[in-house]
Amino acid sequence: MKRRLNGTDYFLILLLLCCAVGSVWRVWDLRSGERATDGEYELLAEWKNVDKRTADCLSVGETLYTASGERFGRVSAVTASPAVLTVLVGGEIYQAQPVESGRLDLFVTVQFEGGKRGGVILHAGSTPLAVGESLRLYSERCELSCKIIFCGEQALP
Amino acid sequence: MKIKKRKERSLRVTLADVLLILLALLAVLLGGIYLYTRQKGEAEVELLCLLRVPSVERSLLEAHDEMLIPEGSVVRTENGTAELGVVREVRVLPHERAVLRDGEVKWLADEAVRDLEIVVRMRGIPRGSDGIRVKDLRIAAGGQGTFRIGNYLARSAELLSVEVIP
């Protein structure tokens, strides 16, 4: 029985090693908070047209995570107002805030660890965040689809 | 005349191949054991979820004597492979649309369709940063999805609330 390794074997070994290294790296990356951050930042995000009962599932103090399970930040405040409704009739736009609809626009303030490089705020020192950006975040019982309307050292200037 | 000897390609399995196969099998086995023990060790919780199915045709509801989705119906994923929970209650509500009346935006009921609010009892596993999972599906209020509820395919159903029963 020949015991010589051929090119395919080396390639497969390399592939296996890459898989192992990648998995370990990802787990380590998710669990360690050792990144270039220089303090706490806040963002204000708008979650539009939410049912009141859905809004009740989110509370202040909860931790928010990304879809991959990475910690994003902590909810520090939630304010609500009746959802703004837009109706387009004959090319004209009409807006109203009907209370009876039971739908709300939520304004969620999130505190997160971040850094600032060249005027850009980086979440966890790596992911840039900007006003107008859409975010999908998860609390224990909620899936938030929101848009950043302010991002800085304090959410409300 | 010189006869060229055909070189035979060896398809023999070497020791390295055997080792690689064993290594791959071991990795799969360890992964399986890890997933199995993780699932075994996790405590299940009872959930009450509220699903909203918008714009169900009224004629469809009437054809089934308002029993399109009877209590006790099983809620499954869109392809029907995973069982997610059981229907506990069904509420038929008017579907309201925003319309313009005398320059004002008003809510008016659309008589052609109805909204269904369905209370579903599920058993889920809270997995910290991965949320509450029911058959590996994240169950979170504010999410949308297509579900197979009994014999009805509920498209764009909105998950309105998730309540953990103590």
Q: Which of A3, A58, A95 sits opposite B15 (nearest CB)?
A: A3
Q: Which residue has the tokens 């099998």?
A: B25
CB contact (8 A) between residue A51 and residue B100:
no
A17 vs B20: CA distance, rounded Å: 12
What SS3 class is residue A26? helix
* A138 touches B: beta carbon within 8 Å: yes
Tokens, residue A8: 């395919």
Model confidence pLDDT, tens digit, residues B9-47: 667 778 888 888 899 999 999 999 988 887 676 788 999
Q: Which of B16, B100, B143 sits opposite A3 (nearest CB)?
A: B16
Q: Say whether pTM exceeds 0.80.
A: no
Distance in Å, alpha carbon of B140 to nearest chain A alpha carbon? 5
Return the closest-CA partner of residue B79 out of B16, B27, B137, B35: B137
H-helix or E-strand spanning residue B26 = helix B15-41
Average pLDDT, whole number, for chain B?
88
* A5 touches B: beta carbon within 8 Å: yes
As for the ipTM of the complex, it is: 0.74
Q: What is the pLDDT of residue B162?
A: 95
* A109 touches B: beta carbon within 8 Å: no
Q: What is the pLDDT averaged over residues A83-108?
A: 82
Closest residue, chain B, to A19 (C-alpha): B27
Q: How many residues does this entry show for chain B?
A: 166
CB contact (8 A) between residue A141 and residue B98:
no
Residues 6+ away with beta carbon under 8 Å from B164: A141, B45, B46, B47, B126, B132
Q: What is the pLDDT of residue A30?
A: 64
